[in-house]
Amino acid sequence: MPKQFELIIFDWDGTLMDSTSTIVSSIQGACRDLGLAEPSDDAARHIIGLGLNEAIAQLLPQLPEAEFPRLIERYRYYYLGKDHEIPLFAGADSVVRDLHAAGFLLGVATGKSRRGLDRVLDHTGLRPYFHATRCADECFSKPHPEMLEQLMDELGMARDRTLMIGDTSHDLLMAKNAGVASLAVSYGAHARADLLTHAPLECVANIQEMETWLLANA
C-alpha cells in the first residue's frame, strides 16, 4: 500500500520525551525564586511547546520583559539539573528507528532551543534518524507555521505529504496554519478534549497506539 505521508515531523517534549512534569516543576521553581506567584500545574502545562519568551509572556502577562532573562536563567537552572535524567517515553526510540528504516523522512519541530535539542539528540542517540530539525530560537514560535514550512522546504516535501505529531494545541495549530495534517497524542501536556478541538486525524493514548496508527495509515 503506497504511503500517504513521506515526511513525519515530531514535537519533542511530551511527544517523544517524558519531560512534561520536569518542565512544570522548573517553571514553578523559577517563579518562586523571583518571588512570583507559582502557576498551577495546568497553567504551566498549557505553555509547553512555546518558545521561552512567548511562554513567559502568556503565563505571566504582567511581568516586565526586562525580567524575562532572570526567569529564563532560573528555569534553566532547575531544568538542566534534571535534564540528563529525563527519559524518552517507552518505545519512542523504536518508533523513530522503525519509521526511518521504513523509508520515511523524519523531522523535529520543537519549542526547545537548538542547544537543548542538540543535547538530547546526542544523549538519546537519535540524531542519525532525523533528516532535519527546527527549534524555537531559529524560527517564530508555535503556532506560527515557519518551523514546518522551513522543514518542508529543506526536504523538498509537499504539504499533503507531511504529517505533524504533537501533544499540545500549539503543535496542532501550527500544523493547521501550515496546511499540514496532524496526529495528536494525549499522554503529554494537553488534555485529549483540547487536542480534539483542532481536528487531528486521530488522537492516540500512548506510543504503542501511535506506532499502530502510523503503520496502518501513514
**What type of residue is 55?**
A
Provide the residue ranges of all domains of the chain, joining segments of one domain with +: 7-19+87-217, 20-85
Q: For residue 143, is pLDDT > 90?
A: yes
Identify the pLDDT of residue 2: 58
Cell, residue 7: 515526511
Task: Give the other-Cβ count within 10 Å of 166's Cβ.
Answer: 32
Nearest to 88 by CA among 27, 182, 26, 14: 14
Identify the pLDDT of residue 1: 45
Q: Which residues are catalytic?
A: 11, 13
Nearest to 174 by CA among 201, 146, 151: 146
Cβ neighbors of 143 (< 8 A, separation 6 or more) are: 169, 170, 171, 173, 174, 176, 177
170-189: burial string, b at 16+ Cβ within 10 Å, e else: bbbbbbbebebbbbbbbbbb
Q: For residue 84, is pLDDT > 90?
A: no
Question: Which of the four pLDDT bands, split at 50, 70 and 90, describes residue 9?
Answer: very high
Q: For residue 105, is pLDDT > 60?
A: yes
Which pTM was predicted? Answer: 0.94
Of 1-5, 40-44, 109-113, the range with the lowest mean pLDDT is 1-5
DSSP code for 179: T
Residue owning grid cell 542547544: 115
CATH architecture under which domain 7-19+87-217 falls: 3-Layer(aba) Sandwich (3.40)
Cβ burial of 61 (10 Å; 0-12, 13-18, 19+) is exposed
User: Is there a shared CATH topology between the 7-19+87-217 domain and the 20-85 domain?
Assistant: no
CATH H superfamily, domain 20-85: Putative phosphatase; domain 2 (1.10.150.240)
